């Protein structure tokens, strides 16, 4: 029997798909759905989505509200130019040291040119109007930075380290290059964490990886998920299942909402078939699905009565489409309820932000399969302590409550230290294994 080949993912940007947009040297990432005639704005850099359609994902250069793919040959050429020595960027150290002035500390040497710097407006010969005019003409960001360096009266008086910082600061401000990438779980976690970590319950990518590991999520597993992390945990579980198994997403309301991370991954039908949204009230009702008696076949032509007006046909088509989505949702809900009622769930993951996880445990814990893994995440430690006591009373084994901290390190020549502007706050993870008395 031949192995089934996975579906081929398009390597080009298509209309209607979600993509990650990030400006080079920028601080934010945006999740944007590319649609025709849409204007994409990322940190004061604007371009039309139509100009990216049909082009491969990767690095783009923005000019005149249009984006153009960067060629490999041009990047190699620019890299060689950066590595080549530039005579104008090197300071004559002999001149500076010969004109030093004395200070109170004999070990400190200061160049007099650094003490006589004029205000910033007078140090730059290039006017703002000229900069804006060059941007309108489509001058590249690197050429614009070169003009600013050439017009700076104080550039040659700076140290090599100060010159490097000046160039990087100007390049970051006037950068005209963006990355347009296919969404991944790591990129989504980073984008939402940098934008608003509170909505994500302070969930970092490293803690998400720990949750998946402790829950033992892999191809073919049955997992129950209740989360308040914008669908990030659910989306990560769906991706790991790979089209086989089941991810029962417990939600409130008629339809699962506030799960942008699931929609943003552009899953195909096979992968998304493992997503089984189940309402809490259906778990309480035990298989008694609301509006189950309202099912109708799609090809019910008896109600048409023969000839209908075009407007009525359009309304009927819309009704059939709504009915098809509702019936599909009911079928998935039935599969999820059968998995829960028959104790086929191998893992339970709770990502709580405002809901007490004990209320979810009381509802789902008795219906878990023996030896099922339980993982609870929350930004509040006191809530997990109460859940720890609740699980301990039910003889749950291997209970572990962890707290992790992650710091990004800046590694540069002669200067390595933690990155100053970063979020270090995170949540806590409680894990255990259910056992059944014989």
Q: Is the dihedral of CA 337, 338, 340, 344 positive or negative?
A: negative
pLDDT at 4: 43
For range 311-318, the mean pLDDT: 58
**What are the start-end ranges of the E strands in 282-389?**
347-351, 373-378
For 136, the token pair is: 């309108």
DSSP H/E element including 250:
strand 246-251
Q: pLDDT tens digit string along 54-91?
A: 999 998 888 788 888 887 776 676 666 555 544 343 33
**H-type helices in 156-242, by residue range?**
160-173, 185-195, 205-215, 232-241
Note the pLDDT of residue 216: 94
How many other CB atoms sit within 10 Å of the CB of residue 395?
A: 10
Alpha helices by DSSP H, listed for 46-197, are 72-83, 93-98, 112-115, 120-123, 128-136, 141-151, 160-173, 185-195
CA atoms within 13 A on the CB side of 162: 8
Given this structure, which CATH class describes domain 185-299+309-433? Answer: alpha beta
Residue 363, H or E segment: helix 357-364
- The per-residue pLDDT for range 28-53, each reduced to its tens digit, is 889 999 999 899 988 878 899 999 99
> 């579906």: which residue's tokens?
7
Q: Tell the residue number behind the tokens 């939402």, with chain if given.
A: 192
Burial class (CB in 10 A: 0-12, 13-18, 19+), 276: buried
CB contact set of 409 (below 8 Å; sequence gap of 6+): 416, 417, 418, 419
- 106-110, 120-124, 161-165, 370-374 — which one is most confidently predicted on average? 370-374
120 alpha carbon, distance to own chain's centre: 38
How far apart CA 47 and CA 10 sit, in angstroms, is 22
Q: pTM value? A: 0.77
Q: Where in the chain is the domain with CATH 3.40.50.150?
A: 185-299+309-433
Name which residue leads in pLDDT, 217 or 194. Answer: 217
Residue 60: in which H helix or E strand, if any? strand 58-63
């Amino acid at each position: 029997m031949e192995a089934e080949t996975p579906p081929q993912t398009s390597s080009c940007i298509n209309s209607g798909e979600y993509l990650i947009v990030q400006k080079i040297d920028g601080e934010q990432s945006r999740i944007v759905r590319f649609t025709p005639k849409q204007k994409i704005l990322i940190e004061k850099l604007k371009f039309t989505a139509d100009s990216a359609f049909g082009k491969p994902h990767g690095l783009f250069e923005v000019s005149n509200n249009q984006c153009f793919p960067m060629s490999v040959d041009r990047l190699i050429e620019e890299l060689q130019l950066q590595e080549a020595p530039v005579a104008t960027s090197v300071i004559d150290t002999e001149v500076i040291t010969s004109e030093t002035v004395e200070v109170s500390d004999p070990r400190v040497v200061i160049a007099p040119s650094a003490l006589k710097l004029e205000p910033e407006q007078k140090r730059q010969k290039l006017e703002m109007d000229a900069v804006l005019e060059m941007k309108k003409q489509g001058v590249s960001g690197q050429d614009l930075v070169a003009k600013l360096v050439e017009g700076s009266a104080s550039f040659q008086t700076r140290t090599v380290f100060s010159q490097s910082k000046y160039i990087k600061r100007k390049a970051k401000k006037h950068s005209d290059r963006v990355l347009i990438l296919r969404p991944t779980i790591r990129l989504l976690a980073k984008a939402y964490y940098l934008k608003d970590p509170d909505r994500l319950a302070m969930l970092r990518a490293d803690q998400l990886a720990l949750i998946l590991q402790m829950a033992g999520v892999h191809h073919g597993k049955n997992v129950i998920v209740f989360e308040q992390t914008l669908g990030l945990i659910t989306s990560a579980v769906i991706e790991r299942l790979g089209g086989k198994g089941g991810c029962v997403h417990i939600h409130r309301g008629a339809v699962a909402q506030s799960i942008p991370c699931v929609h943003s991954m552009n899953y195909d039908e096979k992968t998304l078939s493992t997503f089984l949204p189940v309402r809490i009230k259906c778990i309480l009702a035990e298989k008694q699905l609301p509006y189950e008696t309202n099912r109708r076949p799609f090809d019910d032509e008896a109600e048409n009565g023969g000839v209908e007006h075009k407007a009525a046909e359009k309304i009927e088509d819309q009704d059939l489409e709504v009915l098809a989505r509702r019936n599909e949702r009911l079928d998935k809900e039935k599969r999820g309820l059968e998995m829960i009622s028959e104790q086929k769930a191998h893992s339970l993951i709770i990502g709580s932000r405002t809901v007490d996880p004990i209320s979810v445990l009381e509802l789902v814990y008795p219906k878990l399969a023996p030896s099922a893994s339980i993982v609870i995440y929350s930004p509040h430690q006191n809530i997990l302590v109460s859940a720890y006591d609740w699980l301990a009373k039910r003889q749950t084994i291997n209970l572990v409550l962890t707290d992790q901290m992650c710091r990004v390190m800046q590694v540069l020549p002669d200067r390595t230290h933690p990155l100053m502007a970063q979020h270090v706050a995170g949540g806590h993870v409680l894990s255990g294994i259910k056992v059944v008395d014989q």
